Structure 1
Amino acid sequence: MYNSHTRKQSSHKSPIWKNLQGTPRQPTNVECGYYVMRFMRDIIHDPALAFKKKFDNKKKPVLYTQEHIDEVRLEWGEFVNKQLQNNN
């Protein structure tokens, strides 16, 4: 974006985007933030970068259980609590 804004030519190729058909879908519209955080967490904690293979199976999509979502809620709550304690 910086290069296009400054009108400089970049030697880097543009990224190739791929839609992964087996990504988890939230059952209702109230968990979306937690689903996104869990999805990002799965990608970040995957040292082999095998998430593309994991999430690209349309016939067998990955499902997040309530335990998966609760894990993200707990991590988020601990992080916020720590930040609040550090600011006081």
Structure 2
Amino acid sequence: MYNSHTGKQLSRKSPIRKNLQGTPRQPTNVECGYYVMHFMRDIIHDPSLAFAKKFDKKKEPVVYTQEHIYEVMLEWAEFMNKQLQNNK
């Protein structure tokens, strides 16, 4: 879709998808949103784009501790608070 909006010619190659077995797994069903947000944050903050190596299946899975989850919760709460303050 990006290529069609920018007018670039589409490549005939299909995207390469790689299943990264070392991605973090949440211990129960209630942390999934925070795990996804933290995972996306890890990808966005990786300027070298080496996250595929970080989450490679040959390595042990990355584990997010409760501190990591609280960090994402706090970041999200601060963002929402700023948005609410701006809408007053």
Q: TM-score range by the shorter chain?
A: 0.7 to 0.9
Match of 1:48 in 2: 48
Give the length in aligned residue pairs.
84
Match of 2:23 in 1: 23
Match of 1:33 in 2: 33
1:53–1:76 Cα change, 3 Å: same
State the alpha-carbon separation in 2 of the partners of residues 3 and 49 from structure 1.
21
Amino acid at match of 2:86: N
1:69–1:12 Cα change, 3 Å: farther
Moved more, 67-76 or 55-64: 55-64
Q: Following TM superposition, where does structure 1 have runs of at least 4 consecutive aligned residues deviating by more than 4 angstroms?
A: 1-4
Aligned-pair distance for 1:13?
3.0
Aligned-pair distance for 1:58?
4.6
Aligned-pair distance for 1:50?
1.1
**Aligned runs of 1:46-85 on 2, under 5 Å?**
46-85=46-85
Aligned-pair distance for 1:12?
5.6
CA root-mean-square deviation? 2.0
Aligned-pair distance for 1:17?
0.8
Residue segments in structure 2 that go unaligned for 5+ positions in a row: none
Q: Structure 1-normalised TM-score?
A: 0.85
Cα-to-partner distance string for 1:6-59 (whole Å, 9 max, x where unaligned): xxx723632111110000000000000000000000000001111100001355
Q: Structure 2-normalised TM-score?
A: 0.85
